[in-house]
Structure formats: C-alpha cells, structure tokens
Amino acid sequence: MRSGLWLYVIMAGLCQLVLACSPAGEAAGTQKAPSAEAGFEGPLVVAFGDSLFAGYGLEPSQGFAPALERALAEQGVGARVVNAGVSGDTTAAGLARMAFTLDGLPRKPDLVIVGLGANDMLRGLSPAQTRANLQAMLEELKRREIPAALTTMMAAPNLGEDYARAFNPIYSELSAANGVRLYPFFLEGVAGQPGKLLPDGMHPNAQGIEDIARRLAPAIAGDLPKG
C-alpha cells in the first residue's frame, strides 16, 4: 500500500474525524431527495456516499459531484452528477435512504457510484454487517436495473489484522460477485498530501477533489452510455 494511503487510514483510526462531520439533521429519512434537472437527457450519475462524496467543508460548486461533471465534460461526456452524499453516513444509514434517494430522481440514473464504509470502519462495526448492507444496496440497484459501481475503502491498521482481513476484501469480492465496476481508493494521490486536504488532514480540499474527479473520470466515462 502506498504511504499516503497508510497515513490516511492511520489518522482515520486514531482521530475518528469523519464521525465528527455529521451535521445536525442529517439522519436518514430527514433529507430532501437530491435534485436533478427533469428535462435533462444526457447521462445521469448519482454519487451516493458519505462526507467524502458530500463535499464536506467545501462550497457547493467544489464538491465531488460538480467536480466530476467538469471532469467528465473534459472527457467529452455531458453528464449530470447528483450529489447524494451525507456526512457521517454508515452503510446502514445509506441502505436506509437509498430507495428514498432513487425515488426522488426525475428518472432512472445511468450509474450509481456507492462510496460507503469508511464510517463503519472508523466505528469498528462488524465487517460482516458492512458487507451485508452494501450487498443489499447492490441488490436494490439491480432490482431497479440501475448500473452500479463501488469505490474502495480499507481498514485502518490500528484496528488489527483480523479486522483488516475481514474488511479489506469486501469491495473487490462484492464487485466480482455482483458484476459491478470497482473504482480504486477514493483518496489515492490525495491522502497524506497537505496541499490537497482540509486542515483536518482527512477530507479533500477543492484541489484534492478536482484531482480525484479527473483521476476517476476516464473510467466513469467508459461506464456511461455513448451518444
């Protein structure tokens, strides 16, 4: 594993900062459904995750969803990316709000990117339950015939080898079992880089988000409908 990634997960396990980033009123079921233009006919992408997707600490135009829109445009893809990130969400909270989120969209999305599990890991929650929640989300997306993708998360080393052995394979195994695309660790190339992080040392700043979006955009563009 690259040193930057190790720095991130060590800090995550020690500081538990993501857990502190859940603003009041963001409990599942209390949020408005994310918006998308009813008349838009291009590819529709939903970024469904926690604070890393939500754009914690950033202006609305600086979050992952708008940054990914810009990066996809650079790839020649005129997509809309819906910000369906909620700071502090565990996989259980994500599962609880998934149907509500999807039902609130003007039409079926062309891709839902699921980026959850960091807060499960930070709380030391059961990897088996994390796996089950993510599996249930993928099954719900399959039931609705919506293409899905996962972004990878890894366990902090201070949680121990047993926890890591149970947690780390979740994403690749679910990807293979469900036939969904697996994208790499979200903070790859940004973790451990002070110039790309907010002062908390964990969440990407605007530059970090732009770098992440540009790194992921080619793969995401390839997973979207052509024409």
Residues with a catalytic annotation lie at 51, 200, 203
Residue 72 half-sphere exposure, CB side, CA atoms within 13 Å? Answer: 23
Distance CA 46, CA 94 (A): 13
CA pair distance 100, 98, nearest whole angstrom = 5
How far is Cα 112 from Cα 149, in angstroms, rounded to an integer? Answer: 6
Whole-number Cα distances in Å, 95 to 78, 99, 141, 153, 161: 29, 8, 11, 17, 27
Residue with tokens 């970090």, as numbered in its chain: 208
Quickly count: other Cβ atoms within 10 Å of residue 188's Cβ: 18
In whole angstroms, give the CA distance from residue 49 to residue 52: 7
